Amino acid sequence: MSRRFLGRIHVLLLCCLVVAAVIIGRLYLLQIIRGSAYTQRANEQFSDPQAPLPDRGSIYFTNKDGSLVTAATMKQGYSLALNPTLVVNPPALYSTLASSTKLSYTEFLAKATKAGSRYQPIATHVEGDGTVLVSKQMPGLIVSDDRWRYYPGGSLAAQELGFVAYNNNDTQQGQYGLEKQYDPMLERGSDLYGNFFVELFGGVKSVLSGEAQEGDIVTTIEPTVQAELERQLQAYDDTWHPGLAGGIIMNPQNGEILAMATSPTFDLNTFGSQQNPLIYQNALVQNDYEMGSIIKPLTMAAGLDSGAVTEHTTYNDKGCITVDKKKICNYDLKARGVIPMQQILSQSLNVGASFVATQMGSSTMRDYFLNHYALGEKTGIDLPGEIGGIVSNLQKPQQVQYDTASFGQGIALTPMETVRALSVLANGGFLVTPHLVKQIRYTTGLTHTIDWGKPLSVLKPETATTVERMLTQVVDTSLANGQDKRAGYSVAAKTGTAQIADPVNGGYYPDKYLHSFFGFFPSYHAQFIVFLFAYEPVGAPYASTTWAPPWNALTQFLINYYNVPPDR
């Protein structure tokens, strides 16, 4: 057998393999990637839809074992309409359709007998198989295939997920939350007959170049943890009746958000029933607040890291001091005498935090707060509408601005911004990027794990360890007089009670507060940081009263749910 003949055989075999690959690829595209769309197109043949049916990628929660739970998907069903010119027996027709429409008999009859009309809608988003009604051949009944966005969890992570609604161009788009943030990826095109090679190689190019393409998104939200956080917030709301309550549970090591929520919330499947559209916004990234004493650990860390103070430095606490003609006092106006740095955190002393700020000086404190902790900047979380905090007071020359900022007054931060900064104390001194999405699963079959960047070192590891130890002592000896100490586990925490500014008369309201509480555990090599806040709770002046019970409940829940081993 000649070499030329063998060469021709090899060429022929290669051509066959290429053709087979193309056929297999085309079948994969038709049956796997586009299969549901073609099925949908076939189903639409039993009636003429008024407009192209929407399609959209899915959003998933991630269980602690790595399995996925659907958070947002498309639901299949049908819609009903009437052609009054063809309806023969309206009462009989209503009797058949009563379970499929919310219309009363009177409303139905008005539509069924409307003169001069050939199309009267009577029901949308009806679950089930519309072909059953088609087979009954009822005169005047129009059955159309229908498809709509569905959220199995109802209100679960509502502000984080967002929803889909019509815009001004009569097309559906993601509104708020992840639906808006990842709309270009979740949105589905309607061209089922595009060039296979263009789709295949174009998709690969898009993945490699980072361009948006169609896909599903996988979030870091753990649904059971999310549900527990929302349950605790609702219980808090029922007890203390704040204007708003919220919480964030995050892995401080990598910025993965396991849960975040606010109360009140709403059901995503009936979002249109809400009277106040502000409920759709996510206050955790779109509102800023004066956070109060939970900022004191950041002040202490900056003082220690810069060398302005040490853990054993003492100062004479007089209860009140005057700085730039402004009076700064401890919450109870009482003096403590000569005491070490630990007591600033254990007793939450404003005068002590002011002492640390003064020892640092304005330029050093400004550098730590604005450059190390990145206060005043957006965190980069993958949610729309994020704002940065208001920290302009740290650009002013007066020392009093820095002294008040040292205990969380005079500067306003978003809750997410606050959590990112506090995480520095829980992870050895690194600034991470909080995020909700960890993976994109493209319709081409490729999967992309999102790189959220390398954490930035902003504190010496020994500084973080020192503050971890100090905050652990707060829980062991001071918080509820040590009653919140957890057997077998090291827990670090701090409360905050901030006065709320009076925008009309200036200064602060005498009886309105923001309560906050943050902590992380285990204290060393923390797996979780938990942050809680409430705006204007009613009936208790201090956060230690209102937030300690739900914070303890969440801590115990996480320990049990994740089987966290004891570290003591």
Q: What is the pLDDT along the chain (568 residues), one digit of tens a residue?
A: 566 656 666 667 777 776 666 667 666 655 655 555 454 444 333 344 455 778 899 999 999 999 999 999 999 999 999 999 999 999 999 999 988 888 999 999 999 999 989 999 999 999 988 888 888 889 999 999 999 999 999 999 999 999 999 887 677 899 999 999 999 999 986 444 445 454 444 444 444 445 558 999 999 999 999 999 999 999 999 999 999 999 999 999 999 999 999 999 999 999 989 989 999 999 999 999 999 999 999 999 999 999 999 999 999 999 999 999 999 999 999 999 999 999 999 999 999 999 999 999 999 999 999 999 999 999 999 999 999 999 999 999 999 999 999 999 999 999 999 999 999 999 999 999 999 999 999 998 899 999 999 999 999 999 999 999 999 999 999 988 888 888 899 999 999 999 999 988 888 999 999 999 999 999 999 999 999 999 999 998 899 999 999 999 999 999 999 999 999 8
**What pLDDT, on the 0 to 100 scale, is given for residue 84?**
94
264 cis-preceded (ω within 30 degrees of 0): yes
C-alpha 248/C-alpha 532 separation (Å) is 7
C-alpha 234/C-alpha 257 separation (Å) is 20
Q: In what order do the strands lie in the sheet with 244-250?
A: 257-263, 244-250, 528-535, 508-521, 492-501
**What is the CATH code of the structural domain delimited by 223-561?**
3.40.710.10
C-alpha 478/C-alpha 480 separation (Å) is 6
522 cis-preceded (ω within 30 degrees of 0): yes
**What pLDDT, on the 0 to 100 scale, is given for residue 7?**
63
Separation of CA 120 from chain center? 40
C-alpha 293/C-alpha 474 separation (Å) is 13
Transcribe 451-483 into DSSP letters: ---PPEE-S-HHHHHHHHHHHHHIIIIIGGGGT
| CB of 261 closer than 8 Å to CB of 159 | yes
Transcribe 294-312 into DSSP letters: GGHHHHHHHHHHHTS--TT
**What pLDDT, on the 0 to 100 scale, is given for residue 483?**
85
**What pLDDT, on the 0 to 100 scale, is given for residue 211?**
53
**What pLDDT, on the 0 to 100 scale, is given for residue 185?**
94
C-alpha 384/C-alpha 174 separation (Å) is 11
CB count in 10 Å sphere of residue 474: 23
The partner residues of 337 in beta bridges, in order of sequence, read: 317
* Amino acid at residue number 409: Q
**What pLDDT, on the 0 to 100 scale, is given for residue 427?**
97
Separation of CA 217 from chain center? 14
Transcribe 307-347 into DSSP letters: TS--TT-EEEE-SEEEETTEEEE-TT----EEEETHHHHHT
The domain locations on the chain are 3-33, 223-561
- The DSSP call for residue 277 is G
Torsion angle, alpha carbons of 538, 539, 543, 544, to 10:
-160
* 195 Cβ contact partners less than 8 Å away, ≥ 6 residues apart: none
Short-list 406, 425, 381, CA closest to 248? 381
Task: Map residue 271 onto helix, strand or coil.
Answer: helix
| CB of 439 closer than 8 Å to CB of 447 | yes
